[in-house]
Amino acid sequence: MARICDTQPTYVVHLAEIEGQGGRNLRVVLDYEMKKRLFRDLAKRGPSRASSEQKHLVAERHGLQVVRGKIPVPDIRIEYEARDGERARVDLELATGHYRGRNLAEKVRVGFSIYAHAEDARNSGACWISVN
């Protein structure tokens, strides 16, 4: 529960930005909801580990990507209808002091917007981060 509370300020800022740009019909999806659907779809592929091709197909169906055989899932996804009527989404990740460079690089690589609290950024030698 702490991660959701830690992430809320980021979520609120993004909601305001999206609405300010004409976004509507906002829907917030938390990581555990995405993981539930993702793992359900992977399990449908059979009891053995999903092949690389199957993982890519399932990840794509959920708007995600495979990196080094894994499917990174954001802390929060905001889905919405853009001003032009197109469906859009923003994937948010809160980077804590426990993140290592490789983990953070994976999240950046797949296009997540990365944020860190000031104290975590200081400990990692970085500053407030917003990528994407």
Residue 124 has pLDDT above 70, yes or no: no
Question: What local confidence, expressed as pLDDT, does residue 1 receive?
Answer: 32
Q: Flag whether 130 is in a domain.
A: no
Q: What is the pLDDT of residue 128?
A: 39
Which residue is it, tokens 């469906």?
Answer: 87
What is the structure's pLDDT at 113?
Answer: 86
> Please, which residues bridge with residue 28 across strands?
78
What pLDDT does 47 receive?
Answer: 61
Judged against a pLDDT cut of 80, whether residue 116 lies above it is answered with no
Does residue 132 lie within any of the structural domains?
no
Calculate the alpha carbon distances from 21 to 12, 17, 90, 110 in Å: 14, 6, 13, 24
Tell me what percent of the chain is helix, strand and coil, each rounded to the nearest 5: 45, 20, 35
Q: 42 lies in a domain?
A: yes
pTM: 0.77
The band of 30, judged by pLDDT with boundaries at 50, 70 and 90, is: very high
Q: What is the pLDDT of residue 48?
A: 62
What is the number of domains present in the chain? Answer: 1
What pLDDT does 132 receive?
47
Query: Model confidence over 49-92: pLDDT tens digits?
Result: 667 888 899 999 999 999 888 899 999 999 999 999 999 999 99
Q: Are 110 and 130 in contact (CB under 8 A)?
A: no
> Does residue 131 belong to any structural domain of this protein?
no
Residue 85 lies in a domain: yes
Structural domain span for residue 113: 2-124
CA end-to-end span of the chain: 26
Asked whether residue 64 is domain-assigned, the answer is yes
Burial class (CB in 10 A: 0-12, 13-18, 19+), 67: middle
